[in-house]
Structure 1
Amino acid sequence: MSLQQDLENRSGNKCELCTGTNNLSVYDVKPSDIGGGGVDGSLLACETCVTQIENPDEVDANHWRCLNDAMWSEFRPVKVVAWRMLHRLKKEGWPNDLLGMMYMEDEELSFAKATNDHLDESEKIIHRDVNGVILEAGDSVVLIKDLKVKGSSMVAKQGTAVRRISLDHDNEKYIEGKVGPTQIVIITDYVKKMAEKE
């Protein structure tokens, strides 16, 4: 069975956010490295919902009153998108009441916060490499100097590639990634973002 068919079966052929039935498609909830893709990282959504999720300027707050039901979904990707959209609409007032009632496991909440969609532009923490290039979750970076790894005798050598980094959501200077088998915290001043083809 295809992913689309799995999601159609799960949702009863309806948008998992607003229950609409027009122009349904698979919506992959970002970032894929946390969501994991597939059924556990995707939802079935109508064209109206997808357009408004991807274009914040086109959001019609009244359309999203449907989240009153969607937020109780048993499926992680649906809850994550509901939480993100309620945060995006906080200025409307009513979403705050729904957010106050919503319950999410720690893992679901960290997935929901991973894109920083819930923050106002002024609150967003932006991670930048040594050259000022913006870093995003899932990027690959190269160390520009030898780094001692705290708590071990290991030294991460200059030139080492660290793939699929994750970002610290509280501090723009910290990222995490694996050097060999070890997950380490790295200061952004000591990394350079790798081009896609490297």
Structure 2
Amino acid sequence: MSALVCPICDSSEILTHSDHYECVTCGHEWPKEEQTDLPAGERVVKDAFGHILANGDIVAMIKDLKLKGSSQTLKIGTKSNAIRLVEGDHEISCKMDGLAIGLKACFVKKVGG
């Protein structure tokens, strides 16, 4: 059996359908014929809509998100400063509303081209 993992959350709990795969953990779906031509070990971070993110991109929240350990909430549409991609569970490091935070890519969309 191949080591199939979700491109969004890196979970190995994948459901196989007739024409696509579905992640049990985050619900992301992608077609079976989608193959990456990247060298092994190179990590690709995609936003909630499948756009590839890079250092310096600007992202916006796609839903309200309560910040853990705080009474603050990041509202839908809140834009970041230039992001930095980092290793770990939270792939994005950026500033939003004056706070330095780490975000998961599944809660943001890329702004602009």
Please tell me whether residue 149 in structure 1 is matched to residue 61 in structure 2: no
What is residue 193 of structure 1 aligned with on the other side? 110
1:184 to 54, 79, 101: 101
Structure 1 contact 142–194 (Cα < 8 Å) conserved: yes
Question: For residues 65 and 88 of structure 2, what CA distance do their matches in structure 1 show?
Answer: 22
The superposition leaves residues 50-101 of structure 1 with CA deviations (integer Å, 9 ceiling, x where unpaired) of: xxxxxxxxxxxxxxxxxxxxxxxxxxxxxxxxxxxxxxxxxxxxxxxxxxxx
TM-score by length of 2: 0.61
List alignment gaps of at least 5 residues for structure 2: 1-37
What is residue 79 of structure 2 aligned with on the other side? 161
What is residue 126 of structure 1 aligned with on the other side? 44
TM-score by length of 1: 0.36
Aligned length: 76
Question: For residues 121 and 133 of structure 1, what CA distance do their matches in structure 2 show?
Answer: 19
Q: What is the root-mean-square deviation in Å for CA atoms of aligned residues?
A: 1.6
Q: Which amino acid aligns with 2:73?
A: V
Shift of 1:131: 0.9
Tell me the secondary structure at the aligned position of residue 94 of structure 2.
strand
Question: For residues 130 and 147 of structure 1, what CA distance do their matches in structure 2 show?
Answer: 14
Shift of 1:170: 3.8
Shift of 1:151: 1.6
Question: For residues 123 and 170 of structure 1, what CA distance do their matches in structure 2 show?
Answer: 14
Q: Which amino acid aligns with 1:134?
A: I
**Percent pairwise identity:** 36
Q: Which amino acid aligns with 2:77?
A: G
Q: Which amino acid aligns with 1:186?
A: L
Q: Which runs of 4+ in 1 moved over 4 A?
A: none
Structure number with larger C-alpha Rg: 1
Q: Compare the two structures and name the one with the higher strand fraction.
A: 2
List alignment gaps of at least 5 residues for structure 1: 1-119
